Amino acid sequence: MFANRTGIRETNERTVLSVILNEGPLSRAQLSEKIGLNKASVSAIVKTLIDQQLIKEVGIGESTIQGGRKPIMLELNKAAGFAISVDIGHDYIDTMVHYLDGSTLKRKLLPFRVVEKATITADLVTILQEITAQLPESPFGIVGMTIAIHGIIHNNAIDFTPVYDFSDFPLAEELEKHLDYPIFLENEANLLALSEHAKNSAFSNLVCISIHAGVGAGIIMNDQLYTGENGLSGEIGHMIVQVNGNPCTCGGNGCLQTYSSEKVLLDTYRELSGNKEAIIPDVYRAYAKNDALAMKLINNMIDYLTIAVHNIITLYNPRVIAIHSEISRLLPEFPEKIKHKLPHLTSANIQMKHASLGEEAILFGAAVVTIANFLEVPRFELKK
């Protein structure tokens, strides 16, 4: 296992770094005022962080109303190292290299991949060598990698994945044989929620719903990711929405993901339309032309999602529920359609919206995990 860095940095150092990361550029005087530390202490910490090349002096700020010397401003040295994010879907591998402020250096999406445990380690090592070749010189190099898994993760291990055969496969340990940086595994919907929270830190209680081959939710309660006792929390794809309903991979019947996943939408559309090659944008285009089949299938998907959203609100009472899926990105009114179907009790105070960071949201959530671990900051706001 990797060494957990937590605790290496002193509390005040973490606070200074966090404020510069989230609110910079700032002068030493502004830092002193925001943190409530005297200027000598702030200057000493700033010197340490500059010596470590984690922050840098950038230009001159405005002088105060009282006049005087214009202050030197400080900001994160975002190119001091790089974070890698990987999203392993049922048939794709999506990757991104980030600067230390979470912004994108490069992204590579590899669609239509065979994803299985027999080949995934070698596949990933090859892909990572390609995307990290010719990174700019930096003091810290690659500071870590977070991998989004479509399944249940507990203690950085894969407990259960219905969409590929990784259940109990020690992916992080296998990769650590080839890579010399920390590797974190996390559920993809949890990463989605972390990205939404990092983008909108005013939302202390939020739920993100990710719809792909399955359906999952990431839950932020009181500004913390909630994963439950064994990482099962948020597995809403297995919330039962129909008595004696469709059989599910979990062994149950009537689970949400057998009605509202994109895979079910696409499989049903392909079968009933006769267009075996159809992709999600084809279903959207048919819907936009008022095609009866596409309208029926999408409305059915929304009906079952509405049951799930209602249940989520009764359990967690979030301020916001954000939806993340290809079909919802094509249909701007998708979240509002769910809201309109909710009964008064649960529709009254909920904001239904799209996930803020679009198609790349899960990758940005992965960056939050890697970078917050490396910098040991208590708070991380994504500025993208």
**Contact footprint for Zn ion (CB under 5 A):** 238, 248, 250, 252, 255
Number of H helices and E strands in the chain, helices first, is 14, 15
Q: How far apart are CA 359 and CA 37, in angstroms?
A: 41
**Which is it for the CA torsion 35, 384, 70, 42, positive or negative?**
positive
Residue of 369, 366, 364 whose CA lies nearest to 5: 369
Q: What's the min distance (Å) between Cβ of 168 and Zn ion?
A: 19
Nearer to Zn ion, 101 or 188 (CB): 188
- Work out the end-to-end distance of the chain between its first and last CA atoms, rounded to an integer number of angstroms: 31
Q: How far apart are CA 313 and CA 323, in angstroms?
A: 14
Query: What does the DSSP 8-state code read for residue 318?
Result: -
Nearer to Zn ion, 102 or 162 (CB): 162
The two three-digit tokens of residue 55, written as one number: 């922050």
Tokens 């920390």 belong to residue? 182
Q: What's the min distance (Å) between Cβ of 249 and Zn ion?
A: 6
Nearer to Zn ion, 189 or 371 (CB): 189
Nearer to Zn ion, 232 or 293 (CB): 232
Contact indicator for 193, 148 with CB cutoff of 8 Å: no
Question: Which residue stretches of the chain are H helix?
Answer: 11-23, 28-35, 39-51, 117-132, 171-176, 188-199, 257-260, 262-273, 280-288, 292-316, 326-330, 334-341, 344-347, 361-375
Q: What's the min distance (Å) between Cβ of 122 and Zn ion?
A: 31
Residue of 107, 59, 67 whose CA lies nearest to 83: 107
Nearer to Zn ion, 61 or 252 (CB): 252
Nearer to Zn ion, 152 or 286 (CB): 152
Q: What's the min distance (Å) between Cβ of 147 and Zn ion?
A: 24
Q: What's the min distance (Å) between Cβ of 107 and Zn ion?
A: 32
Q: What's the min distance (Å) between Cβ of 238 and Zn ion?
A: 4
Which 3 state secondary structure label does DSSP give 96?
Answer: strand
Q: How far apart are CA 85 and CA 366, in angstroms?
A: 5
Cα distances from 270 to residues 114, 265, 293, 366, 376, in angstroms, run 21, 9, 11, 33, 48
Neighbours of 380 (CB within 10 A): 20
Q: What's the min distance (Å) between Cβ of 199 and Zn ion?
A: 30
Nearer to Zn ion, 94 or 188 (CB): 188
Nearer to Zn ion, 44 or 250 (CB): 250
Q: What's the min distance (Å) between Cβ of 253 and Zn ion?
A: 8
Nearer to Zn ion, 98 or 238 (CB): 238
Q: What's the min distance (Å) between Cβ of 371 and Zn ion?
A: 34
Q: How far apart are CA 174 and CA 193, in angstroms?
A: 27
